[in-house]
Structure 1
Amino acid sequence: MKLNNKILFVLASTLALTGCNNLFSKHVKCDDESALSLVSQILNDDLVQSLDHELKALIKDGSIKDLDPAKLKLSAKNIQFSLLDSRTDFIDPNSPKTSCSLDLTATIPSDLVKKSDEARAKVNAVSVEEHANNLGVKYDNKKVHLTLEYVLQPTDKGDKVLAVLKNTSNMQTLLSETLTYAFLKPQIEKNQIKNMEASKAVTPRNNANNATYDAGSETIEAADEAEWAAQQATAAAEEGYYEE
């Protein structure tokens, strides 16, 4: 199962601005409520799209015959994004773009991390924590921490704001694959049980075949011994005849 191949989604969207002041401002403030709401929406939408990509690959491979596909995308709702301490990094004097950053925390429920780790162990995949380390994602106590970089820009009419998230790819990979493994745990367990049952069914047949082979070998050996004994008896008789 390959879970690491990702489609890079365009993390951009628009949301209507609120408040009369925004309509006449060239730049959008980094802590604008509408802008932060949009950032949160993009984070959730991107996670859902990542899970949708995983789901299509699983369906194509026939990997989820016993599971409800809808549950994978719904699991995105279990991730809680917290946006704190937004700050302005750069206001472009030559355009309406404003570069911002904030402290982002994504919390994964403990039971999902547990299920994900158990599923990973069954297929010899690294744990959630090891996966985070491999991706260079700061992960601690079921939480992902990231200094999120984003750019805000109002439309020409000034009635909407455009937001672009710049550095969420690895975090979203960790989140989507953690949820995917947790989702797949029942299927992995069922597949292992089926494989064990199939293996047990094959063993008696092999034993029966071996028994038949052994019996056949013993018959052949007995026939060979009888033939050798007959040859010896014939030789002895001929020897006795010539001596007389």
Structure 2
Amino acid sequence: MKKIAVPVIAALVLAGCLSEEKKITEINCGDEMTKSTLRDLVQESLEDQVKKELQSGVNGQPLSWDAAKFRALVSLLNIDFVHVRTTKKDPNSTKRFCEAEMKVIIPVDVAEAADKVRKSLGYPNIVTYAAALDVKYEAGAAFGDIEYSAQPTDDGNTVYVSTAKKNKSVDLVTEVIAANLVKPLIEAAEAKKVKEQADEQARLAKIAQERQELEKEQDRLRLEKAQSGIKEANDQINVVWNGATSDFRKTALPEQRIWLKERDLECREKANAVGEGASETDREVVRLNCETEMTVARTSLLKAKVASHGASVSTKTDQQ
């Protein structure tokens, strides 16, 4: 489908046949037979132009022709010719040259469907498109002048109607019909797009959930490692403490109690100093690792003090 194009009812000719009892030798521009044949001519022009529109396709994809759907849509239109004028009579024949205002009433649902399709394709709506074509379109009806000629055959059995001038209102109606014909394809494409978006959202949600579960598992492992670290450090310092003499423990106990309080306060401060985006697990891991580091250092210090105390006791005993 294209945004703007001016079609041509190019030298189209259509014949309307008459029954034996209705044979005529002269025809007028406003006769019902003339107007009926002209209406058929316009519908034939619409069919040709809509076929071309569908051949151009949507987004490079050609569309198949459905004659039944086309006829069903055209049957919803009310095509009439008003303000008929005879502009010229051929003095040497029965041919008449005519002008009229063609009025095409487009049902509301058909126009709305066309607007919806055009919007999805990034095209202007029917009202805007009509203005761009300089076509009068109001109250659901398109108006445009049409020039044509009419002439009965010599035997009076047939009326020939032809027109060869550009008609912009036909182009407007062409776009409306074409849009309605591609509507199922557009709806299918939109449904597919919605499904693809839903599938993508579901995929991303699954990834996010898996990431969250992985982060939880990582947090659990980090916490377990930190808990294991402080337990091992406490076990080591307890071994050193319990291996010391009772005199050493009695002397060192006040200092050890102060150290425990210092360890608790310092490590809590480190945990609280972690950034605002940190989780409770992050803070707890920082606190436990801090306690582990301080306990390992304290254990080394205690070992040295215990060893020094033991050496001092041994020297005194030897001196005695």
Q: TM-score, normalised by structure 2?
A: 0.54
Matched positions, count: 207
Q: What corresponds to 1:22 in structure 2?
A: 24
Q: What corresponds to 1:92 in structure 2?
A: 90
**Cα distance in structure 2, aligned partners of 1:155 and 1:190:** 50
Q: Using the TM superposition, give the Cα deviation of residue 76 of structure 1 relative to its aligned residue in structure 2, in angstroms.
A: 1.2
| Highest RCO, 1 vs 2 (Cα 8 Å, sep ≥ 6) | 1
Residues 55 and 178 (structure 1 numbering): CA distance in 2 closer, same or farther, change over 3 Å?
A: same
In the TM superposition, 1:220-235 aligns within 5 A as none
Q: Using the TM superposition, give the Cα deviation of residue 61 of structure 1 relative to its aligned residue in structure 2, in angstroms.
A: 5.1
* 1:40-94 deviations in Å (ceiling 9; x for gaps): 22122222333333344449954669x9774244311111112234221111224
Q: Which moved more, 1:123-132 or 1:151-160?
A: 151-160
Q: What corresponds to 1:75 in structure 2?
A: 73
**Cα distance in structure 2, aligned partners of 1:103 and 1:54:** 25
Amino acid at match of 1:139: Y
Residues 55 and 12 (structure 1 numbering): CA distance in 2 closer, same or farther, change over 3 Å?
A: same
Q: Which moved more, 1:121-130 or 1:77-86?
A: 77-86
Amino acid at match of 2:85: R
Q: Which moved more, 1:52-61 or 1:123-132?
A: 52-61
Q: Using the TM superposition, give the Cα deviation of residue 202 of structure 1 relative to its aligned residue in structure 2, in angstroms.
A: 5.4
**Cα distance in structure 2, aligned partners of 1:190 and 1:29:** 49
Q: Using the TM superposition, give the Cα deviation of residue 13 of structure 1 relative to its aligned residue in structure 2, in angstroms.
A: 1.0
Alignment equivalent of 1:181, drawn from 173, 179, 182: 179
Residues 62 and 72 (structure 1 numbering): CA distance in 2 closer, same or farther, change over 3 Å?
A: farther
Structure 2 runs not aligned, ≥5 long: 212-320
Higher helix share goes to which structure? 2
In the TM superposition, 1:70-149 aligns within 5 A as 70-149=68-147
Checking the alignment, whether the CA contact within 8 Å between 2:55 and 2:62 is kept in structure 1 is no
| In the alignment, structure 1 residue 52 sits paired with structure 2 residue 54 | no
Counterpart of 1:29 in 2: which secondary structure? Answer: coil
Q: Which moved more, 1:189-198 or 1:119-128?
A: 189-198
What value does the CA root-mean-square deviation take over the aligned residues? Answer: 3.6
Q: Which moved more, 1:131-140 or 1:162-171?
A: 162-171
Structure 1 runs not aligned, ≥5 long: 212-244
**Cα distance in structure 2, aligned partners of 1:93 and 1:151:** 14
Q: What corresponds to 2:193 in structure 1?
A: 195
**Cα distance in structure 2, aligned partners of 1:165 and 1:171:** 14
Counterpart of 1:115 in 2: which secondary structure? Answer: helix
Give the number of the structure whose alpha-carbon radius of gyration is greater.
2
Q: Which moved more, 1:95-104 or 1:169-178?
A: 95-104
Checking the alignment, whether the CA contact within 8 Å between 1:55 and 1:72 is kept in structure 2 is no
Counterpart of 2:123 in 1: which secondary structure? Answer: coil
Amino acid at match of 2:139: N
* 1:104-128 deviations in Å (ceiling 9; x for gaps): 2110000111111122122211010
Higher strand share goes to which structure? 1
Q: TM-score, normalised by structure 1?
A: 0.68
Residues 20 and 197 (structure 1 numbering): CA distance in 2 closer, same or farther, change over 3 Å?
A: closer
